Structure 1
Amino acid sequence: MTGKRERLAAAAAEVFHRQGVEKTTIADIAAAAEVPVGNVYYYFKTKDQLVQAALGAHARSLQDLIVVLEEHEQPRDRLQALVQGWIDQREVAAQFGCPTGTLATELGKRADGLDRESAANMRALIDWVERQFAAMGRSDAGELAVALVASYQGISLLANTFRDPELMRTEGLRLERWIDGLQS
């Protein structure tokens, strides 16, 4: 991707997170990317193409995060670092919700293919978490992965609903203790 295209994709992801897809205009994304509105159409002909680019930006962010998490030697430590990252982002989650989760929720109401692309991002996270639990020797790794991600998505929703970042911190600390208790 060119620098401008990449900047537009990142801006789209950010603005969609703050405002939602339906309320966001192409002009909003152009302003966030500091690109003239006319230039947006050179790279993206439709708003849905910008949504698709935002999904790609989310996928790249997850891949980058996984690279950092994989620096931890033990799978338990990787999961703990993931949860700590969620705790560290609690102010953003309280204000706007989880970037991936809010977009998945909004796109889940559509049946145009973008819903499945969004689901693929969530699936990538669940699959990575499942591999960590499997590496801990857990035969129920799939169930644990869904439980962990569901807990995070749920607390993101509640923190956003009540505009209370401390809910996220409290749940994150509980999840860290839970992960410790699962060590085989």
Structure 2
Amino acid sequence: MSRIRARNEEKIIRAASRVFAEHGYAATKTADIAELAQLPKPNIYYYFGSKENLYRAVLESVTEPLLAASAPFEEHQDPLTALTAYIRAKLLISRDYPYASKVFASEIMHGAPHLPEDIIQRLSGQTRFLSERLSQWMEQGLMARLEPKHLLFAIWASTQTYADFNWQITMALGKDELDETDFDQAAEVITRMVIEGCRVSPLAEA
């Protein structure tokens, strides 16, 4: 892929994320996306073929990072390290993909009518893996016994809210936008809630 094509596709996806987030799938016009991306309207169809394909590209732009966020569960045997890194990764997705996150959240809230089956299967597989990993740590006595999927739901809700409810959070904080300090503080609070609330213990050194 040429650099020009990659740059234009990124601009279109970024613009489409915002327009889809603000207007929804049905009400979104490709002309509005092209205007925001500062590209001719035919470029939308040249690069993506259809509004449906572009919508899928927006969903993939956030689902790929969401899937990659589980890497700490694969890389670390220590639940303290893995959970700390996982929470941080989830917050960074809210920081870096705020509009795409809102599009994804809206899609889920409406019953995922446009979410491709392959993405659903990958996300479902990730949830099973994360749940099984948490269960293993519970069996090892490294954290309190509780329903692992509900723990995941709590982590998702507390991290994704920084994208999906950004307006409410910035209003409460009295600022126009969140900065690095805000995300650092959010990571500290959420991590402490999970680690201390679930009584997570570090893996003993051999």
Report 1:49-128 matches (<5 A): 49-67=53-71, 70-88=74-92, 92=95, 97=98, 99-100=100-101, 102-108=102-108, 113-114=113-114, 120=120, 126-127=127-128
Residue 152 (structure 1) aligned with residue 159 (structure 2)? yes
Residue 142 (structure 1) aligned with residue 143 (structure 2)? no
How far residue 17 of structure 1 moved from its aligned partner, in angstroms, is: 3.6
Residue 162 (structure 1) aligned with residue 142 (structure 2)? no
Partner of 2:42: 38
Identity of aligned residues (%): 20
How far residue 127 of structure 1 moved from its aligned partner, in angstroms, is: 4.5
How far residue 103 of structure 1 moved from its aligned partner, in angstroms, is: 0.8
Number of equivalenced pairs: 179
Partner of 1:177: 192
Which AA in structure 2 matches 1:58? V
- Which one is further off, 4-13 or 154-163? 4-13
- Which one is further off, 171-180 or 121-130? 121-130
Q: How far, CA to CA, are the matches of 2:125 and 2:36 in structure 1?
A: 28
Measured at CA, do residues 66 and 7 of structure 1 come closer, stay the same or move farther in structure 2, by a change above 3 Å?
Answer: farther
Give the 3-state SS of the residue equivalent to 1:20 in structure 2.
helix
Which AA in structure 1 matches 2:82? R
Is the Cα–Cα contact under 8 Å of residues 26 and 47 in structure 1 kept in the other structure? yes
Q: Give 1 or 2 for the bigger CA radius of gyration.
A: 2
Superimposed CA distance per residue, residues 26-52 of structure 1 (whole angstroms, 9 cap, x where no aligned partner): 356557878654243234332122001
Superimposed CA distance per residue, residues 77-136 of structure 1 (whole angstroms, 9 cap, x where no aligned partner): 22211222345567x47xx84632x1123335657831576x937656644543442232
How far residue 149 of structure 1 moved from its aligned partner, in angstroms, is: 0.8
Partner of 2:20: 20
How far residue 10 of structure 1 moved from its aligned partner, in angstroms, is: 4.2
Runs of 4+ in 1 over 6 A off after TM superposition: 31-35
Q: How far, CA to CA, are the matches of 1:6 and 1:63 in structure 2?
A: 22
Q: How far, CA to CA, are the matches of 2:100 and 2:125 in structure 1?
A: 15
